Structure 1
Amino acid sequence: MSTSNPTKVALVTGAGSGIGRAVAKQLLKDGFTVVLAGRRIEPLNELAEQARAAGQQALAVSTDVRDPASVEALFAQIEQTCGRLDVSFNNAGIGAPAVPMDELSFEQWKNVIDTNVNGVFLCVRAAFGLMRRQVPQGGRIINNGSISSHTPRLFSSPYTASKHAVLGLTKSTALDGRQYNIACGQIDIGNALTEMTERMTHGVLQANGVLAVEPTVDVQHVAEAVSYMAGLPLSANVLNMTVMASSMPFVGRG
């Protein structure tokens, strides 16, 4: 695993829990100054205090990625406080109730799209702008996709649609960023064991209608995969990486 320059700055959205928290802790360990963003400031402050106690550099910023003004304020603070941004891990995301499509409200659909698509776009746009104008120019954007960006689960239309959109945004950003030394890649995660996926251990509805327990994978493996992506020189890019529980129903899903 690459050891990062201690002066490099990374942003992690949704850093208060789950995958975001695990990735933030790993990037801190790698020597990054890490900006911790999320809607709930308490867990961000707790993680920042732990980092400082360990001699690491962290900045907690309350942010709602669905709100353009909130995202603009986040990146303005990054630029003012840190001077630049080297890695942006766009991780914040939510799901919707697993119900037939006709039972899903428009507000439930919109909430997922606002967070998983608009929120990722706002953060990608802001990171792209900062990386384009900073000196030296360039940086790396990593989007948290999902294996649902390739294959859906039953009753998951908002989440699946949102993650398919993220995949398209990742590819477009990778292309648009070439001339500015901005690399963009995506990590697609399957069944990493966090608060959100703890239900997998009790049973998840399968494509044939059967409820089945699914295997999970330690979230630390995801954190180390993001660490690898973040540590690459900008001349190399992982465009798409899948990290999943080996025996989970994905390759043969459905």
Structure 2
Amino acid sequence: MKSILITGASSGIGRATALEFLNAGWRVGLVARRTGRLEEMAGDYANAEALPADVTDPAAMERVFERFVGMAGRLDVLFNNAGMFGPAGPIDEIPVEAFDEVIGVNIRGMFIAARLAFAQMRRQQPQGGRIINNGSLSAHNPRPGSVCYTSSKHAITGLTRSLSLDGRDFGIACGQIDIGNARTELVDDLNRRALEQNPEAELMPMMDVGDAARSVLHMAQMPPEANVQFMTVMATTMPYIGRG
């Protein structure tokens, strides 16, 4: 049975992706801070394991990896997904503490998970595996008022490229999925903010979050000699091309 560890698995893209892999027969490690949500999901599947932890805590994440690999025998895929948007607005209205929080989750947290996954994949036999980072369309073009989130997601593109290069000698592939406007709690919150500022605002086009989840499964199922380096999956009519 193939194994995958998913961070941010309690909601949004992480939860939808976890369900997609569980239904496909993978052994799935569910990582997030909300224990209740993870245990509820794991209770419905024999191939799921709830692993509550804060992705920014290196010791807690090390215990997560040890426990999951101890049960699964190896780690085939990490979906490095946990992230947050943070406050919206021009940079002079963003508290430094809020910026630090976004960077802590979106960069530090993803670095910690990738570091542990890389180490496991490097030493396991047979050697190798796959790391899939959740980027964003904001890794390429920002939406207004997103300086914290956009800065962090540009960094993730650098992380993806570095892991792809450094993983070659160890059979470790790394790819990035950039998702635009999948219907999640995060996007619902962005819509809520937009309506608060302007009740007449036109809400963003959406796609079903399951379409994003199936795209992650496609990336994970590639054979070892093939890799989806970057994939963009977005609501068809969202203003991405040409925005800035």
| Residue 243 of structure 2: aligned partner | 253
| Residue 82 of structure 1: aligned partner | 72
1:154-185, Cα deviation, whole Å (9 max, x unpaired): 11111001000000000110111011000000
CA distance in 1, matches of 2:90, 2:168: 41
Are 1:118 and 2:112 an aligned pair?
Answer: no
Q: Conserved in 1, the CA contact under 8 Å of 2:39 and 2:50?
A: yes
Q: Conserved in 2, the CA contact under 8 Å of 1:200 and 1:216?
A: no
CA distance in 1, matches of 2:192, 2:57: 35
CA distance in 2, matches of 1:203, 1:220: 24
Question: SS at the partner of 1:140?
Answer: strand
Are 1:98 and 2:98 an aligned pair?
Answer: no
Q: Conserved in 2, the CA contact under 8 Å of 1:173 and 1:184?
A: yes
CA distance in 1, matches of 2:19, 2:82: 16
Q: Conserved in 2, the CA contact under 8 Å of 1:203 and 1:211?
A: no
Q: Conserved in 2, the CA contact under 8 Å of 1:203 and 1:214?
A: no
1:81-136, Cα deviation, whole Å (9 max, x unpaired): 22210010011000111122111111100000000000000000000000000011
CA distance 1:162–1:198, shift in 2 (3 Å): same
Q: Conserved in 2, the CA contact under 8 Å of 1:75 and 1:126?
A: yes
| Residue 161 of structure 2: aligned partner | 171
Are 1:212 and 2:202 an aligned pair?
Answer: yes
CA distance in 1, matches of 2:203, 2:194: 6
Aligned 1:57-76 pairs, distance under 5 A: 57-76=47-66
Q: 1:15 is matched with which residue: 2, 9, 15?
A: 9
CA distance in 1, matches of 2:67, 2:85: 29
Aligned 1:176-215 pairs, distance under 5 A: 176-199=166-189, 204=194, 211-215=201-205
CA distance in 2, matches of 1:201, 1:166: 25
CA distance in 1, matches of 2:152, 2:193: 24
| Residue 160 of structure 1: aligned partner | 150
Q: 1:221 is matched with which residue: 208, 211, 232?
A: 211
Are 1:133 and 2:120 an aligned pair?
Answer: no
| Residue 242 of structure 1: aligned partner | 232
Are 1:27 and 2:21 an aligned pair?
Answer: yes
| Residue 3 of structure 1: aligned partner | none
Q: How many residues align?
A: 240
Unaligned runs of 5+ in 2: none
Question: SS at the partner of 1:192?
Answer: coil
Q: Conserved in 1, the CA contact under 8 Å of 2:90 and 2:147?
A: no
Question: SS at the partner of 2:186?
Answer: coil
Using the aligned pairs only, state the percent identity: 51
TM-score (norm 1): 0.91
1:201 CA displacement: 5.2
